Structure 1
Amino acid sequence: MSVPESRAQTAISQKPIRAPRGPALSCKGWQQEAALRMLMNSIDPAVAEHPEELVVSAGTGKLARDWPAFHAILNSLPAIESGETLVIRSGEPEPILKTNPDAPSVLIVNSLLSPASQGHTGGIEVDGLARPTRMAAHWMFTGPSSALPEAYETYRAAARTHFGGSLTGRLVVAGGMGGMGGAQALAAALNGAAFLGIDADAERIKRRVKAGYCEVMVNNLDEALRILKNAVRKRELASVGLVGNASEVIPELAHRGVLPDLLTDQTPADEPFAYIPQGLTPLQAAELREQNPRAYRARALDSLAAQVRGMLELKKMGAVVFEFGNGILAQAFARGVADAYEIPDFVSEYLLADLQQCRGLFTAVALSGDLDDLARIDSLFPKLFPDSELREWIAIARKRPSPGLPARSCWMRADEAVKLSAAINDAVARGEMKAPVAMGRSIRQKRAKNLPGSQPTAQAVNSAAPAQALADWPGLPALLDAATGASWLALQVGAAAGESWEQGASFAVVADGKPKTAERIERLLANDLAAAVSRFAPPSQSPG
């Protein structure tokens, strides 16, 4: 764990951060203002898991290296002129550079460690270097609502593949209810399931219950199973958050012969310092992490290995088991679980067809903070996509408002994103919105050190080069985004103590109603579509 911040640094962080609302600018243009508001929104206490520590999601990744660095970034954004770019390197702002008016206002590069350094830091900050993190550069994060579309589509695909198209009357079990894992309970319930979520941190479950993403929290496995068995028997929806350690509960389910129909995990396993080891409360875990980080890491890795062994045992008993993109298989494999990769990953198993059709996450955020602007965005869907399932999704999403700035996240094709983005920009131009709208897409790629190309196993298929030897994605799309009009973009690597890593690239574009912005949006998203086709389509279908 990093050395604790000084009292002066901690004092800076005491006042909660909340993004400005309304049409008034504090920056020199809406491209810069959008970046400032989204940065502040990401660390809003209603959005972030641990805002006092600058931690956005369930892992340990920070939005900035420390609080002074965060405020330095915040103070730099209003100074950016058109044709200038702020560079942020591993959570620390660099000087503002002269670029050109079409260049991104902000470029973020985070934790791109050299191969030699990965595995030596072990996730510990050394000599002031930022720990490898995931999500730390993603300023478009809006809480579990960011993860809900992907989780919903994954469970939906699993239902089609294994259970005749519905999870009604099925027991779904998953570890981890913090950050991105916070969407699982609702995603499973929306597909008809009786859901058991397991988390060692009661506060994470309380947040999900308060937000309406989970129905009830319990402290006892027997009570949880009583509720869920009754729901399965009656074929009713149910979602229960159990305060417990997944590395203990999952093996206990196997021992009792309780067989989930579907089992997965979204604990922060790719960051062992965020994974709570067996036998420790969150407070005890924090103390050990500070006093003896190497001992903590060893206990965390032993615990997640035990969890994967439990998952494998339930798989042998007949449960459908998959990994949900958190690197737990790579960690377990490195810890001696030789058959860890008998568990498939969610991309190859359920989402590859979507990716081949260029479907993915798209998020639009009303920078005004006004719910009427979000309602205006929602009203565009039935007009633009009258025969699409997107209409049904909007009806679902409206019932669970996102915290912080009003946001709408959808799972949609890139060509649909082009059409929607253009319509939003037109609405801003006509004065139908109180302020511009920030829109973003993201791409990620995971690998394991000990099983190259394993996350996901399905890589680009239009090249004769071995997919596992390549790490071009998502770096190549990030370069393309910078060249074609992104308002800001980020490229980061999250490493899990050398055993696995995740590359991620995300970009945002701001619909401010200007004709030139319409051209930028069309160019940016069209190239995003072309890049996706190039990555996943067979050679005969790739562009050119």
Structure 2
Amino acid sequence: MSSLQALCSGLPLRPLPENQGRWAGVPHAPVRTPGLSPAEEQLALRNALRYFPPDVQELLAPEFAQELRLYGHIYMYRFCPHIEMRAYPIEQYPCRTRAAAAIMHMIMNNLDPAVAQFPQELVTYGGNGQVFSNWAQFWLMMSYLSQMTEEQTLVMYSGHSLGLFPSSPGAPRLVITNGMVIPNYSSRTEYEKLFAIGVTMYGQMTAGSYCYIGPQGIVHGTVLTVLNAGRRYLGVEDLAGKVFVTSGLGGMSGAQAKAAAIVGCIGVIAEVDKAALMKRHQQGWLMEVTDSLDKCIERLREARRKKEVLSLGYHGNVVDLWERLVHELDTTGELLVDLGSDQTSCHNPFNGGYYPVQLGFSEAQSLMASDPATFKGLVQESLRRQVSAINRLAKENFFFWDYGNAFLLEAQRAGADVEKKGAKRTEFRYPSYVQHIMGDIFSQGFGPFRWVCTSGDPQDLAVTDQLATSVLEEAIAGGVNPAVKLQYVDNIRWIREAAKHQLVVGSQARILYSDQKGRVAIAVAFNQAIAQGKIKAPVVLSRDHHDVSGTDSPFRETSNIYDGSAFCADMAVQNFVGDAFRGATWVALHNGGGVGWGEVINGGFGLMLDGTQEAEQKAKMMLSWDVSNGVARRCWSGNRKAYEIICQTMRENKGLVVTLPHEVADERLLQQALGP
């Protein structure tokens, strides 16, 4: 068993650790099929060996070559550390700066087996969301962080530590870029090769920026989505007896079961991987499980009749479940589902993100590696069948939305009937949850703000929960508009439910959808509590990249941008740069995330509060920019709610001056000017 001190001492070379290969009893990433040429295989091996001195290369070369040919990537399993991987209290890390220790705390949380989807392959969530590309990169970064001073910045290129560079105390301590590939070469096929040869990495959103907080992060978003879907589609506040059907219990999708319980509906979630399903059941996130479709339908009917709160995991393929629901409708006339979505990792459909209904789980994994072309054909056929069943149910009083996982995009590419007549390029027959459900929230500046108590003490988290609740209650008492009040009330309910439902997995963290005012006020309250000793150690502020300003993603976060700029990435890049010089402790910019490689540019940050006045000033400056940037962009695109919010923000902050759009007063002018 290694110690934290040993973990920060650089790669263990003399002696080399024993190569224990892939561990039994933990889930592993699917075999990758990058299709490297012999010359590219040599390049991959050369790139891996450059982390090691010549005297060990002869031993490691055949070992790494075998990994490349067996698994499609060199993970360097020999160097997977023998330590309990978890978020240790910040004071235990051997560092020269607290900021470096806070970053270590976050990295080790992302690799905690209770949190990570495939911990030995350094995948946190989403099937391929890497923290690092290989274990040498992990050891190297931990060593650099332990050495780093307040006058250095660590630069990361897609998992690789380029080095420590002189900088100022006010600069970020860490700057991360993941997957920054030249646009013409940013295809999925090119990515597989570039990742295999070890020169780029898919960091998802918060995997490669070290800001993932376990499935709790998406529980809150799913709670808000399902609540607002009930309001919008069903016209109800109370979801008792309503049925929500979806799929996926692996990484982030594991949140769906807990969200169903919190909102009080009946959630039926299909999952093909029994290990993932049982993990959620053992964690208490999934109330019941069955591998019988008959029993699943029987239990659904019973819960619906009794208006029970239920999260039911079906061990099987979701296509079978959708087709059975169609069968029940056609034979009995009974519609057994009210709301539906999908959270398979469809951004990565041909490498383990989506399993075709025609094959069992093990068969699919085998075919995926041995015959990728046939596997792809089966996936696309399965997508067509799934959409066909959903389309039949949607003719009744059933509502489906895309959860931003590229499900409808991949279904369209597979030839499924998802077209919407007269639609814009980013629209399908069914809406993205951003377009119809969450879009107004982003336009008002609300998004997934989060924090981590680096002491690791649950009592510190309880204090932050109390402080955040008080801030929101005071804001309501001071008077806010009805739309903002509704979000604040939902958030207060969330904090109370989160504590009751024991949502912490990994680090002592909380997520809260908040607007600019709320984020700043909460940050100030936390910082003062640290200064007063009410919170025992620094608190790291962060957010999901899936936020107001952090992500340009035409099929998700910016799918409701209609001025033609949905495919432009200025907002996310500007956000990354602006956060860096306004006080962020670290910043990250990624290609890919959510809907997949080449489909999105997104960025995030970490900001450490340590109780100092300097930390408070950084929080006020950086958090204000981090929200206003996106609201201003949405305003310029023509969004009325964003227009109102940014105008209000300008009135409250005289230093903020935003260009406002003028509407075309008479639409006939356009036709007249362009007419024949």
TM-score, length basis structure 1: 0.92
Is the aligned partner of 1:283 residue 2:375?
Answer: no
Which residue of structure 2 aligns with residue 339 of structure 1? 418
CA offset digits 1:128-175 (Å, max 9, x no partner):
344545233131211110111111110110111122222211111011
| 8 Å contact from structure 2 (residues 117, 250) kept in 1 | yes
| Higher mean displacement: 243-252 or 44-53 | 243-252
CA distance in 1, matches of 2:290, 2:365: 23
Is the aligned partner of 1:308 residue 2:387?
Answer: yes
Q: 1:315 to 1:369 in 2, by over 3 A?
A: same
Q: How many residues align?
A: 536
Q: What displacement does 1:534 show?
A: 0.6
Letter in 2 for 1:429: A
Q: What displacement does 1:24 show?
A: 4.0
CA distance in 2, matches of 1:294, 1:115: 25
CA offset digits 1:175-234 (Å, max 9, x no partner):
112212111122122222111001111122212222222101110111111111111111
Which residue of structure 1 aligns with residue 503 of structure 2? 401
- Aligned 1:443-458 pairs, distance under 5 A: 443-444=545-546, 453-456=554-557, 458=559
Letter in 2 for 1:153: L
SS of corresponding position for 1:302? helix
| 8 Å contact from structure 2 (residues 406, 555) kept in 1 | no
| 8 Å contact from structure 2 (residues 188, 597) kept in 1 | no
Which residue of structure 1 aligns with residue 213 of structure 2? 142
Query: Which of 454, 470, 493 lines up with 1:383 in the alignment?
Result: 470
Is the aligned partner of 1:261 residue 2:370?
Answer: no
Q: 1:124 to 1:325 in 2, by over 3 A?
A: same
Q: 1:397 to 1:251 in 2, by over 3 A?
A: same
CA distance in 1, matches of 2:160, 2:213: 22
Q: Percent identity?
A: 27
CA distance in 1, matches of 2:371, 2:201: 16
Query: Which of 54, 58, 65 lines up with 2:133 in the alignment?
Result: 65
Is the aligned partner of 1:11 residue 2:113?
Answer: no
SS of corresponding position for 2:599? strand
| 8 Å contact from structure 1 (residues 259, 319) kept in 2 | no
Query: Which of 537, 541, 553 lines up with 1:435 in the alignment?
Result: 537
- Aligned 1:225-264 pairs, distance under 5 A: 225-257=297-329, 258-264=335-341
Q: 1:169 to 1:115 in 2, by over 3 A?
A: same
SS of corresponding position for 2:164? strand
CA distance in 1, matches of 2:125, 2:504: 15
Q: Highest CA radius of gyration, 1 or 2?
A: 2
SS of corresponding position for 2:85? coil
Letter in 1 for 2:78: A
| 8 Å contact from structure 1 (residues 198, 245) kept in 2 | yes
Which residue of structure 2 aligns with residue 420 of structure 1? 522
Is the aligned partner of 1:82 residue 2:150?
Answer: yes
CA distance in 2, matches of 1:429, 1:496: 37
- Aligned 1:170-185 pairs, distance under 5 A: 170-185=242-257
Q: What displacement does 1:102 show?
A: 1.5
Q: What displacement does 1:36 show?
A: 1.0
| 8 Å contact from structure 1 (residues 324, 346) kept in 2 | yes
Which residue of structure 1 aligns with residue 49 of structure 2? none
CA offset digits 1:80-113 (Å, max 9, x no partner):
2113211211222212222221221111111123
Q: 1:353 to 1:495 in 2, by over 3 A?
A: closer
Letter in 2 for 1:306: R
SS of corresponding position for 2:211? coil
CA distance in 1, matches of 2:596, 2:225: 28
SS of corresponding position for 1:398? helix
With CA pairs under 8 Å and 6+ residues apart, which has the higher RCO, 1 or 2?
Answer: 1
Q: What displacement does 1:117 show?
A: 2.0
Q: 1:79 to 1:304 in 2, by over 3 A?
A: farther
CA distance in 2, matches of 1:22, 1:129: 31
Which residue of structure 2 aligns with residue 509 of structure 1? 607
Query: Which of 267, 286, 299 lines up with 1:214 in the alignment?
Result: 286
Q: What displacement does 1:300 show?
A: 2.9
Q: What displacement does 1:122 show?
A: 6.2
Letter in 1 for 2:345: P
| 8 Å contact from structure 1 (residues 198, 241) kept in 2 | yes
| 8 Å contact from structure 2 (residues 571, 629) kept in 1 | no
| 8 Å contact from structure 1 (residues 334, 499) kept in 2 | no
| 8 Å contact from structure 2 (residues 458, 508) kept in 1 | yes
Q: What displacement does 1:444 show?
A: 3.4
Q: What displacement does 1:500 show?
A: 6.5
Is the aligned partner of 1:361 residue 2:448?
Answer: yes
Q: What displacement does 1:498 show?
A: 8.2
CA distance in 2, matches of 1:122, 1:288: 21
Letter in 1 for 2:514: M
Letter in 2 for 1:430: Q
Q: What displacement does 1:236 show?
A: 1.4
Between Structure 1 and Structure 2, which shows a larger proportion of strand residues?
A: 1
SS of corresponding position for 2:156? strand
Between Structure 1 and Structure 2, which shows a larger proportion of helix residues?
A: 2
Q: What displacement does 1:471 show?
A: 2.2
Which residue of structure 2 aligns with residue 124 of structure 1? 192
Which residue of structure 1 aligns with residue 436 of structure 2? 349
Letter in 2 for 1:425: N
CA distance in 1, matches of 2:190, 2:374: 12
Letter in 2 for 1:115: P
CA distance in 2, matches of 1:456, 1:188: 23
Q: What displacement does 1:495 show?
A: 7.1
SS of corresponding position for 2:511? strand
Which residue of structure 2 aligns with residue 449 of structure 1? none
Letter in 1 for 2:616: A
Q: 1:456 to 1:21 in 2, by over 3 A?
A: closer
SS of corresponding position for 1:342? coil
| Higher mean displacement: 255-264 or 494-503 | 494-503
